[in-house]
């Protein structure tokens, strides 16, 4: 039996349309989960932040800016997030730079250990720090015996900075490791032949190339630190004023249950992260390496147009 050319043409067209929409069909499950676990909670938070429980109101935001205690929580969280991200980024960059000079076997072992230690967070990490650097910790007693460490409070600002910096380093190393592959080994040799020392090579060649990756990694570390909760709570039992601990106390407390106020604090936290991300993107677009890539791209397109 012969198939009509018209019918065959219609079947081919339907198959082509189905193939065209196939990627969209495959992404539908992801879109559903994204809405349920990302967009829906965010919409709930934003909506309830403008409610006092009975009607639309800005009272929650007024209470935040009139409360020195909540503003102190924001200040403490931003301080720890900024300095732990900066210290973690610096130490991770040194680690990754050193790994490039090791043989592949040792480098793979270090990367595997870094990957494992990046998951050592939360309550187990706080417990480990208490055993090592607590008031009667093993390292604390040893350093105090030799007169190296007289006053160190693990349960205060500097203790939290230490534990935050610790869990920032593995994440920073894993994020920066692929970026350092952009540095060619012969660049430093060529710079040395032209009379540049190591400091000039890093300032004039390596850092401009790595700038986008460094900025992006800093933003991820900053967001990771400012949203951390389990380690800080387990270490201080909620006695140190961090904004994540304040949010948790407002949504889980029996006496001070104020979910709408917690939603307003969360919205401000999201706004801070959004602002930092926008500034990061602006710095990346203004970096010399990115500008040179754009200029080279324009020249290439211009040359192709002439040919």
- The tens digit of pLDDT for each residue in 74-105 reads 999 999 999 999 999 999 999 888 887 777 78
| Cβ(225)–Cβ(80) below 8 Å | yes
Backbone angles phi, psi at 267, to 5 degrees: -65, -45
8 Å CB contact between 244 and 263? no
| End-to-end CA gap in the chain | 54
Q: What's the pLDDT at 97?
A: 86
What is the C-alpha R_g of the chain?
26
Q: How many CA atoms lie within 13 A of 209 on its CB side?
A: 15
**Residue that is written with structure tokens 């249950």 in the block:** 257
Q: Which of 123-132, 141-150, 157-166, 278-287 has the lowest mean pLDDT?
A: 278-287
pTM of the model: 0.79
How many angstroms separate the Cα of 164 from the Cα of each of 40, 87, 200, 232? 30, 10, 32, 9
What Å distances lie between residue 33 and 36, 40, 263, 272, CA to CA?
A: 5, 10, 22, 25
Binned at pLDDT 50, 70 and 90, residue 264 comes out as very high
């Amino acid at each position: 039996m012969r198939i009509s050319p018209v019918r065959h043409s219609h079947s081919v067209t339907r198959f082509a349309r189905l193939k065209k929409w196939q990627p969209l069909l495959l992404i539908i499950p992801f879109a559903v989960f994204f809405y349920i676990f990302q967009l829906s909670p965010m919409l709930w938070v934003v909506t309830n932040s403008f409610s006092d429980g009975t009607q639309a109101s800005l009272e929650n935001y007024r209470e935040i800016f009139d409360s020195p205690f909540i503003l102190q929580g924001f200040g403490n969280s931003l301080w720890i997030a900024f300095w732990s991200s900066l210290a973690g980024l610096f130490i991770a960059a040194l680690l990754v730079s050193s790994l490039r000079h090791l043989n592949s076997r040792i480098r793979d072992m270090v990367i595997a250990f870094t990957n494992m230690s990046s998951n050592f967070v939360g309550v187990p990490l706080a417990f480990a720090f208490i055993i090592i650097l607590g008031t009667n910790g093993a390292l604390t007693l040893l350093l105090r015996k030799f007169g190296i460490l007289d006053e160190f409070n693990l349960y205060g600002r500097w203790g939290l900075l230490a534990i935050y910096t610790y869990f920032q380093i593995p994440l920073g190393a894993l994020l920066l490791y692929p970026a350092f592959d952009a540095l060619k080994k012969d660049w430093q040799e060529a710079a040395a032949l032209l009379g540049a020392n190591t400091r000039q090579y890093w300032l004039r060649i390596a850092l401009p190339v790595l700038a986008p990756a460094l900025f992006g990694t800093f933003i991820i570390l900053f967001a990771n630190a400012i949203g951390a909760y389990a380690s800080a709570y387990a270490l201080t039992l909620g006695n140190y004023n961090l904004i994540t601990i304040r949010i948790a106390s407002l949504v889980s407390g029996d006496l001070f249950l104020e979910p709408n106020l917690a939603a307003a604090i969360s919205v401000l936290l999201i706004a801070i992260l959004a602002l930092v991300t926008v500034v990061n993107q602006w710095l990346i677009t203004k970096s010399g390496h990115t500008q040179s890539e754009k200029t080279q791209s324009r020249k290439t397109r211009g040359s192709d147009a002439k040919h």
